[in-house]
Amino acid sequence: MHSMSSTQGRPRRIAHLDMDAFFASVELLRYPQLKGLPVVIGGGRRRIDDLLRERHAGLPLSEISPAEFPLLKDYVGRGVITTATYAARTFGVGSAMGMMKAARLCPQALVLPVDFDEVRRYSRAFKDTIREIAPLVEDRGVDEVYIDFTDVPGGQREGGRVLARLIQKSIFQNTGLTCSIGVAPNKLIAKMASEFDKPNGISLVYEQDVQTRIWPLAVRKINGIGPKAEAKLHALGLLTIGDIAARERDWLVEHFGRSYGAWLHDAAWGRDDRPVVTESEPVSMSRETTFERDLHAARDRTELGAIFTDLCERVAADLQRKGYVGKTIGIKLRYDDFRIATRDQTLEHFTADAKTLRRVAGQCLKRVDLSRKLRLLGVRVGKLAKVDSPEAQGVPPHVAEPAPTNLDLF
């Protein structure tokens, strides 16, 4: 199943669709007066629109002057940027950048906090729109999907351009939002292709284009090569994807291990068999929070305890709302020097109970070094099962397990 997958023997055509500056674009629908201005989304713990509504009672949000919005230079906090508008990006501001650094680059940018409810609403809307046109859709987070065009009627016309255009148009009609789409023989190339013509673009890549369009790209453009692998590749003198492709598979395996080395070789040659997966079960659920200032386990005991309990209650609520129970309970913390420590413990039975989470997570916390100040605390539940699944029907938590007798010990 390399490039041919459908039973009819049609060449695989896989699309990757990426919403353009999604979080920011959603806000611009509500505040169209900010169009064209540098705006960044992220960081905030305050509800900006509540603030604006208070200050301008009776005035529609869309009529409040841009001058009334908070500026990046006045921002104080530890957040990072989730999305920047294209106007803000011209100043070098981009997602995942610390707000403080961004403020230095573009102090006059406006800041809005993320409105997750609104973002999720639009996320659902654009994905529903796609599924009505092409049913095989794989979720890749809130603003991205893969779509299998292969067997969709018309999905092969002009290499997928016709269908991509239809999807773009329908999303815009239903939401007012634009997106960029790449269509290629597989997910790996489609993902790169969707970036070729942003925003609001369509890019088609064929198998025979790999040398001309993929090989010149920086290694980091491959989805799966992050900062660490990039640094190692650079140190070995490999800068472009073509540089990787020029190496023997065995050489890559020598330097990167059997699994990753072989994958690097395949990826550089544009080979990728992964199917578009339309459904998947969650593996874990977690909640974590970075404190406004670093906290010390002993000196800030009360504050930390309240946060810890709250995290457990929120994870429990998430599990219950979504109908899951879990078996492995763990904590994560980040020290002031940014090192991370995790501890977890697997239970005999499944649970979604906040008190149980709190008790077991508390035991985990006792197993880490708490002499350093902490920056972040998180609670995680793994080994999930649906609450009504057969495996989750074990011994209920309130039934005592048989205690070991002396005989068991010998």
Partner DNA sequence: TCTGGGGTCCTAGGACCC
CB 349 within 8 A of CB 397: yes
Task: Give strand pairing partners of 311.
Answer: none
144, 195, 230, 313: the catalytic one is: 144
Q: How would you write the chain as a 3-class SS string? A: CCCECCCCCCECCEEEEEECCHHHHHHHHHCHHHCCCCEEEECCCCCHHHHHHHHCCCCCHHHCCHHHCCEHHHCCCCCEEEEECHHHHCCCCCCCCEHHHHHHHCCCCEEECCCHHHHHHHHHHHHHHHHHHCCCEEECCCCEEEEECCCCCCCCHHHHHHHHHHHHHHHHHHHCCCEEEEEECCHHHHHHHCCCCCCCCEEECCHHHHHHHHCCCEHHHCCCCCHHHHHHHHHCCCCEHHHHHCCCHHHHHHHHCHHHHHHHHHHHCCCCCCCCCCCCCCCEEEEEEEEEEEECCCCCHHHHHHHHHHHHHHHHHHHHHHCEEEEEEEEEEEECCCCEEEEEEEEEEEECCHHHHHHHHHHHHCCCCCCCCEEEEEEEEECCEECCCHHHCCCCCCCCCCCCCHHHHC
Q: Within 97-126, which residues bind DNA (CB under 7 A)? A: 98-101
Query: Closest CB to DNA among 56 and 383?
Result: 383
Binding status of residue 3 toward DNA by CB under 7 A: no
Least gap, CB of 301 to DNA (angstroms): 20
Q: Is 141 in the site for DNA (CB under 7 A)?
A: yes
In 10 A of CB 235, how many CB atoms?
A: 9
Question: Of 151-159, 180-188, 225-233, 351-359, which part binds DNA (CB under 7 A)?
Answer: 225-233
Q: Which is nearer to DNA, 69 or 335 (CB)?
A: 335
Could you tell me the smallest distance in angstroms from the CB atom of residue 225 to DNA? 5
Q: Phi/psi at 12 (nearest 5 deg)? A: -65, 130
Smallest distance from DNA to CB 162, Å:
25
- Shortest distance (Å) from residue 56 CB to DNA: 27
Using the rule CB under 7 A, give the single segment among 64-72, 180-188, 334-342, 390-398 that binds DNA: 334-342
Site for DNA contains 356 (CB under 7 A): no
How far, in Å, CA of 219 to CA of 228, rounded?
12
Question: Considering the rule CB under 7 A, would residue 4 count as an interface residue with DNA?
Answer: no
Cα 138 from chain centroid (whole Å):
14
Question: Active-site residue 68, yes or no?
Answer: no
Residue from the set 78, 89, 249, 271 that interacts with DNA by CB under 7 A: 78
Q: Which of 199, 257, 305, 323 contacts DNA by CB under 7 A?
A: 257
Instruction: Check binding of 361 to DNA (CB under 7 A).
Output: no
Calpha distance 391→54 (Å, rounded): 51
Nearer to DNA, 185 or 330 (CB): 330
Asked whether position 358 contacts DNA by CB under 7 A, the answer is no
* Cβ proximity to DNA, 16 vs 64, nearer residue: 16
User: Least separation, in Å, of the C-beta of 36 and DNA?
Assistant: 25
Whole-number minimum distance, CB 34 to DNA, in Å?
Answer: 21
* Among 29, 52, 71, 80, interactor with DNA by CB under 7 A: 80
Query: By CB under 7 A, is residue 207 in contact with DNA?
Result: no
Binding residues among 259-318 for DNA as defined by CB under 7 A = 259-260, 280, 282-290, 318
Give the contact letters, 367-386, x = binds to DNA (CB under 7 A), - = no: x-------xx-x----x---
Shortest separation between residue 136's beta carbon and DNA, angstroms: 18
* Binding range to DNA, per CB under 7 A, among 33-41, 92-100, 129-137, 196-204: 92-100
Binding of residue 410 to DNA (CB under 7 A): no
Residues identified as active-site = 144
Binding site for DNA (CB under 7 A): 43, 76-80, 82, 95-96, 98-101, 140-144, 191, 222-230, 257-260, 280, 282-290, 318, 327-328, 330, 338-346, 364, 367, 375-376, 378, 383
